[in-house]
Amino acid sequence: MKVIGITGNIGAGKTKIARIFEKFGCKVIELDRLGHRILESSTYKKKIINTFGKFVLDKNNKINREKLRKIVFSNPSLLKKLNAIVHPGLKRELKNEINKMKRMRNVKAIVVDAALVFEIELDNLFDVIITVYANKFLSFIRLMKSRNMNLFEFLNIYNSQMPVKEKKRRADFVITNNLPWVLNKRRVEKKILKIIQYLE
Per residue in 109-136, pLDDT (tens digit) is 999 999 999 999 999 999 999 999 999 9
Q: Do you know the residue count of the chain?
A: 200
pLDDT in tens, 141-174: 999 999 999 999 999 999 999 999 999 999 999 9
- Burial-class residue 162 by CB neighbours within 10 Å (0-12, 13-18, 19+): middle
Phi, psi (rounded to 5 degrees) for 132: -95, 125
- For residue 181, the model assigns a pLDDT of 85
Query: Which long-range contacts (C-beta less than 8 Å, at least 24 apart) are formed by 161-168?
Result: 161/9, 161/10, 161/115, 161/116, 161/119, 162/118, 162/119, 164/8, 164/9, 164/12, 164/131, 164/133, 166/118, 167/7, 167/8, 167/9, 167/117, 167/118, 167/131, 167/133, 168/131, 168/133
Q: How far is CA 92 from CA 37, 169, 191, in A?
A: 12, 27, 31
pLDDT tier at 179 (50, 70, 90 boundaries)? confident
Distance CA 192, CA 164 (A): 20
Q: Where are the domains of the chain?
A: 3-199
- Is the confidence at residue 197, as pLDDT, over 90? no
**Mean of the per-residue pLDDT values for the chain?**
93
Top CATH class of 3-199 equals alpha beta
pLDDT at site 182 = 86
pLDDT tens digits along 68-125: 998 999 899 999 999 999 999 999 999 999 999 999 988 999 999 999 999 999 999 9
CA dihedral 113, 34, 158, 67 (to 10 degrees): 150
Q: Which of 112, 89, 85 is nearest to 100 (CA)?
A: 112
- Please name the residues in contact with 178: beta carbons below 8 A apart, sequence gap of 6 or more: 133, 134, 135, 138, 184
